Amino acid sequence: MATGEAVRGFCDRLLGRCLRHFPCLSDRARRSMLGLKAALVLLHLGFVGVLFLLDTDLIRKTRTEPWYTAAYLAVVLAALVQYFITACSSPGYVIDAMRAGNQAVNASRNSIQPASRNETLYSSLNNSQLSRNSSRMTSSWSKLVMELYPPGSSSRSWTCLYCNVSQPPRSKHCHDCDKCVLQFDHHCVWLGTCIGKGNHCRFWWYIFAETVACIWSGVLYISLLRSNFLNAWWKVLVVVSLLIGLSFCFIFLLLLLLFHTFLVLTNQTTYELVRRRRIPYLRGIPERVRPFSRGVRRNLHDFCCSFDSIYSLEAVPCLEELEDRSQRYTCTDVLTCRCC
C-alpha cells in the first residue's frame, strides 16, 4: 500500500515537472496532437528500421550503391518534413483576412505620435475611438464580402452564427478549430488542422510524398520476402504483416491523391463537392458546372505557382458567365484549348 502511494507520488511529481518545463502539455488537445505526431514518426522509423534489420541485401547495397539508400531515406524524410510543414501551416482564417483587408483602419487604430525628446512613441487613441474604428472595420469588411456575392443575396446566408463575421464565398466555420476558414476543404484529424486556401497545396504534396514513400517501401518489402534472408518463421510473419499494412496505406493514399488531384484540376473543395446542395450560392448552378474553375491549366497554375496572398478572395461568377460555362465543349473548343 505504501509502495503504491510512493509510486503515485513520484509520478505526480514527475508530471508536475514536465508541465512546468513544457506548458503546452497541460492542454489536453495539444498533448494528443503531440502524441499523434510522435506516433507518426515512430511508424515511419518502424517500417524503415525493420528493413535495415532484416534485409542483408539492402545493407550490402548501401555500401556498394549508397545513392539508392540515400534516395529512399530522402523520400521518407521529405514525407515527414512535409507533414510537419502542413500541420504547422495556417489554412487561412477569415478573421486574419478581415484584418488584412482593413489595413487602413488598423493603421488608424495604431496611429502614434511623439511624446518625448527621445522619440518614444505612444498610441493616441482612447477606448471610444478603438470601438468606433472596430465597428468601422467590420462594416467595411461586410461591404467587401457583399460585393463578392450575387446581387440580392441575404446577409444571413453568409454571416457565421458562431464567429458573427461575414464569410466570403467558399468559407466555412470549422467546429474543431472554432474559426472560419477560407476556401475550406476539410478538417484533417491526422494533421490536427484544417485544410484550406493557405495549406491545400502543401497537403497535396504531403500526400504525394507519402504515396511515393509507401510504394518504395512496399517494393523493398516484396523483394525482402522473395529473398532467402528470412530464415525464421517470425521474420516472415513480421514482414507479411507490415506488407499488408503498407498495402492498405497505399490504397488509401492513392485514392486520396487522385481525389485531391481532381479537386485541384477543377478548382473545387471537398466541402463544395459533398455539400453542394446545402451551400446557398451553389444551389441553382447545374451539377456539371464548376463555378470557380478557370480551366485546367489556369487552375493548376493558381494552385501551384500563384504568388497571391492566402487572403485573396474569389467572387461568385455572374449568371452570364455560368451560362457560358454550362455549354458543352465542342471539338473546336478542345483544339483551341478553351477547355483548359
- Residue 188 annotated among the catalytic residues of the structure: yes
- Among candidate residues 188, 194, 201, 305, the one labeled active-site is 188
What's the maximum distance between 2 C-alpha atoms anywhere in the chain?
A: 87
Q: Could you tell me which residues are beta bridge partners of residue 251?
A: none
Distance between CA atoms of 36 and 208, rounded to whole angstroms?
20
Rounded to 5 degrees, φ, ψ at 245 are -60, -40
Q: What is the dihedral of CA 216, 219, 221, 224, to 10 degrees?
A: -130
Contact 261, 204 (CB under 8 A): yes
Neighbours of 112 (CB within 10 A): 11
The half-sphere exposure of 280 on its side-chain side, counting CA atoms within 13 A, is 15
Q: Is 288 exposed, middle or buried (0-12, 13-18, 19+ CB in 10 A)?
A: exposed
**Which positions are catalytic?**
188
